[in-house]
Amino acid sequence: MSWLPSVLTLVLFFTIYAVLHSILASLTLKDWARRVFGPGVERWYRLAYNIVAVITLLPLLPLLAWLPDQTLYVVPSPWRWLMVGGQLLALTGLGITLLQTGLFQFLGLAQLTAERPNQPGKLNIGGFYGWVRHPLYFFSLLLLWLTPIMTLNLLVTYLLLSLYFYLGTFYEERRLLAEFGPAYGDYQQRVPRLIPLPFNRLKPEP
């Protein structure tokens, strides 16, 4: 069981990561920051959150490089290149979704200069959001699971990330329901959470 320490280390890392980011993304902490630092905190909170998210994820790279590992499978050609092609399509989908979401809003840069940074935005149900409620997670999952070379550490990491994405949708949708109310509840009923259905695209009203 030489693989056990690697698995436990990755599970511990992701547990700490998930707890930290659940706290930082919570409305409770955001309300506390607003009370302590004033309403101006809305301008930089999203950007600060993204910076912390990236910095705290960086230790994963040396963990995957240094922890003992073993190869589980290597997909041969030509199937390997089909999977890589699927990953490129997933990356393209991620890029398009970020543009549809509002790239500068997503990064937290638009809030820095917005006249009213805490003003709720418009519910986005166009583009890929008409197919699935969380297209960023959907394309991220495709990118992960189409990896043609799988190791034990990658498998554990992908499983943990998939669980984090799935649970994160519930956390995120509580915030969206609080922000958009019945409009988001109706959207939930009409569009799948993570897996798009063929020929089931919600078209936004003109």
Q: What is the pLDDT of residues 96-142, one digit of tens each?
A: 999 998 888 888 877 777 766 666 667 888 889 999 999 999 999 99
- Residue 205 falls in which region: left (phi positive, over 0), alpha (psi -120 to 50) or beta: beta
What is d(CA 59, CA 13) in angstroms, rounded to the nearest whole number?
9
Per-residue confidence at 178, pLDDT binned at 50, 70, 90?
confident
CB 125: neighbour CB atoms within 10 A? 18
Per-residue confidence at 2, pLDDT binned at 50, 70, 90?
confident
Which pairs from 101-107 meet CB under 8 Å and 24+ separation? Answer: 101/136, 107/46, 107/47, 107/50
Query: What 3-state DSSP class applies to 151?
Result: strand
Which element (helix H / strand E) includes 74?
strand 71-74
pTM score of the predicted model: 0.89
Which residue is associated with the tokens 């988001």? 184
Q: Are 112 and 185 in contact (CB under 8 A)?
A: no
Is residue 194's pLDDT more than 70? yes
Which element (helix H / strand E) includes 72?
strand 71-74
72 phi/psi in degrees, rounded to 5? -95, -45
Provide the mean pLDDT of the chain.
89
What is the DSSP secondary-structure string of 76-110?
A: PTTHHHHHHHHHHHHHHHHHHHHHHH-HHHHHT-H
